[in-house]
Amino acid sequence: MFLVADNLQITNPVFQKAVSERDPVPIQDCVKRCVAAGAEAIDVNAGPLTKEPEERMAFLVETVQAVTDLPLYLDTTNAAALRMGLSVCRNRSVINGVSLEPKKLEEMLPLVSEFNVDIIGYLLYPTGQVPKTAEERLAVATELFAEIERAGISRERIIVDPVVPPLMWEDGVEQAMAFLETIRTLPDLLGFPVRTIAGLSNLTTGAGPKEKKLLVERTYLPMLASCGLSEVLMNAFHDETVRVARTCKILLNSAIFAWEAIP
Amino acid sequence: MFLVADNLQITNPVFQKAVSERDPVPIQDCVKRCVAAGAEAIDVNAGPLTKEPEERMAFLVETVQAVTDLPLYLDTTNAAALRMGLSVCRNRSVINGVSLEPKKLEEMLPLVSEFNVDIIGYLLYPTGQVPKTAEERLAVATELFAEIERAGISRERIIVDPVVPPLMWEDGVEQAMAFLETIRTLPDLLGFPVRTIAGLSNLTTGAGPKEKKLLVERTYLPMLASCGLSEVLMNAFHDETVRVARTCKILLNSAIFAWEAIP
């Protein structure tokens, strides 16, 4: 299970200010801390980038890759900004991401072939709504892979995100279990080792005590891991959760156990 | 997931002394703490009971049930002591346990019908050896259920324990994953909702730093839970692990989520 840090979010006023003033320091500090904490990729969440989209995305990517060689997940709904980000990115890059929403398919898929990169595929209906049951998620996955194929893109390019539901939703707990079943079933359904990703913090979206949120996330993460999740998008500064994530990796991937490997 | 406390172990010198001096206090203190911590059953691990087996088992059961109504898992290899324990136990009791070892089958199975109780069935070869792969464990389970049926016992009486392997074994990590697969596969294989149990502390048997052992146990537990584990035998004094266990229950069983339910 590959650990993608979600710490760099432009909605954070500190980073917003840094980007508008072209100040690399707060951004690079954050990235360095993520790397030190054990992140294996950095999600560069630039948001919709309504102002100076290309300039700001270029600045973000240049600023981040100046301090790390880790893969960058370019996370924006702005296609022009995304193209610019991919153009200037020298690290391995991943597009975050596409779904069955027509505008997304149209704008994002051509970039996959053009820049020869992987892309996250969200299991959402064309309307942007989240499917409820595992069956609904799997049906959407089949549709999404059909679109990918129609676009001439290799199915191995896709990292499927079945969209972690907030537990606070009326059927949030049920959907969280449906998410697990989706992760577990996808490779059998599609007949190849489908890669999957989950945004862990989605689970505890909304009001709630921080310490309990962390407990719930730490408990859900090994469930995800044991269902075969390939990548987790998470806060790299949550030390205890990172320890659990690294322990999951050891339990799932190690040939021989050694206490020295446990964080 | 039902939480069975494994804290009352006669190998602990404190309890050994208490039993030989017929002093209920240390035993009852332990049981009360287990109950307060959230235990839903108490494993009364009396060991082989070479000295005064029946008297000591009777004392143990009487002492424990004087302070709790929780189910008692009577855990001894001594059949005479077990019979005595079952005779005096007014709480719901469970025999812990049987396996394909001929002596165990012969001595333990008749007590199930006689006392109308459930029994833990360990997935061990008739030699007492632990099967390695999930396939081997499932084959042993099929054999065990055949023996149960031959003895005229309802298959619903059995709580299957596929034997958690110590990670320190050469193939311990692989076997820990085989354990998960066994838990997940048993209901499909046998065609009914097979109940299962796992002894969590087995995972970290042997030398190793305490804090890392707890981290590994806390990480493995949600994996077990999401595979459908019915009961976990664990140390009820490991607060953080109990919190994770209770959070697993909420994620797996709740209709509606509420932060108030999270410990």
What's the whole-number mean pLDDT along residues A40-58? 95
The three-state (H, E, C) secondary structure of B205-251, written as one string: CCCCCHHHHHHHHHHHHHHHHHCCCCEEEECCCCHHHHHHHHHHHHH
- Contact assignment for A219 to B172 by CB distance below 8 Å: no
List of residues 6+ apart from A185 with CB closer than 8 A = A134, A138
For residue B168, the chain A residues in CB contact (below 8 A) are 257
Residue B214: predicted pLDDT: 98
What's the whole-number mean pLDDT along residues B216-237? 98
Which of A101, A2, A80, A84 minimizes the C-alpha distance to A43?
A2
Between CA A194 and CA B170 the distance in angstroms is 30
Residues of chain B with pLDDT > 70, as a percent, come to 100
- State pLDDT tens for residues A50-102: 899 999 999 999 999 999 999 999 999 999 999 999 999 999 999 999 999 99
- Contact assignment for B257 to A168 by CB distance below 8 Å: yes
| Mean pLDDT across chain A | 96
Between CA B74 and CA B61 the distance in angstroms is 8
List of residues 6+ apart from B155 with CB closer than 8 A = B145, B148, B149, B190, B192, B194
| Mean pLDDT across chain B | 96
State the complex-level ipTM.
0.94
- State pLDDT tens for residues B68-87: 999 999 999 999 999 999 99
The residue in chain B having the minimum alpha-carbon distance to the alpha carbon of residue A212 is B262
DSSP run (H or E) holding A4:
strand A2-5
Per-residue pLDDT for B255 more than 90? Answer: no
How many of the other CB atoms lie within 10 Å of CB of A109? 21
Residue A43: predicted pLDDT: 98
Residue A48: predicted pLDDT: 84
What's the whole-number mean pLDDT along residues A223-231? 97
Closest CA–CA distance from residue B161 to any residue of chain A (Å):
19
Residue B254: predicted pLDDT: 78
CA distances (Å), A181 to each of A164, A252, B76, B224, B253, in order? 12, 18, 39, 15, 15
Beta-bridged to residue B45, according to DSSP, are B9, B75
CB B112 within 8 A of CB B87: no
- Contact assignment for A219 to B248 by CB distance below 8 Å: yes
Per-residue pLDDT for B256 more than 90? Answer: no
Question: What is the band of B28 on the pLDDT scale with cuts at 50, 70, 90?
Answer: very high
Residue A124: predicted pLDDT: 98
- 3-state SS, residue A258: coil
Residue A255: predicted pLDDT: 78
Distance between start and end Cα atoms, chain B = 15
Closest CA–CA distance from residue A235 to any residue of chain B (Å):
18
DSSP state of A227: T
Question: What is the band of B36 on the pLDDT scale with cuts at 50, 70, 90?
Answer: very high
Which of A102, A41, A100 minimizes the C-alpha distance to A75?
A41
- Contact assignment for B170 to A256 by CB distance below 8 Å: yes
CB B227 within 8 A of CB B180: yes
Between CA B79 and CA B85 the distance in angstroms is 10
User: DSSP for B5-33?
Assistant: E---BTTSHHHHHHHHTT-HHHHHHHHHH
Between CA B70 and CA A210 the distance in angstroms is 33
- State pLDDT tens for residues B88-121: 999 999 999 999 999 999 999 999 999 999 999 9
User: DSSP for B150-164?
Assistant: HTT--GGGEEEE--P
Compute φ and ψ for A160, nearest 5 degrees. Answer: -80, 130
Residues of B with CB under 8 A from a CB of A: 167-168, 170, 172-174, 176-177, 180, 208-209, 212, 215-216, 218-223, 225-227, 243-244, 247-248, 250-252, 254-257, 259, 262-263
How many CB contacts within 8 angstroms connect chain A with chain B?
88
The widest CA-to-CA distance across chain A, in whole angstroms, is 52
What's the whole-number mean pLDDT along residues A1-29? 97
- Contact assignment for B218 to A223 by CB distance below 8 Å: no
Closest CA–CA distance from residue B216 to any residue of chain A (Å):
7
- In this prediction the pTM is 0.96
For residue A214, the chain B residues in CB contact (below 8 A) are none
Distance of CA B160 to the CA centre of its chain: 9
> Which residue is listed with tokens 């109780």?
B117
Residue A192: predicted pLDDT: 96
Residue B237: predicted pLDDT: 98
- Domain B2-261 belongs to what topology? TIM Barrel (3.20.20)
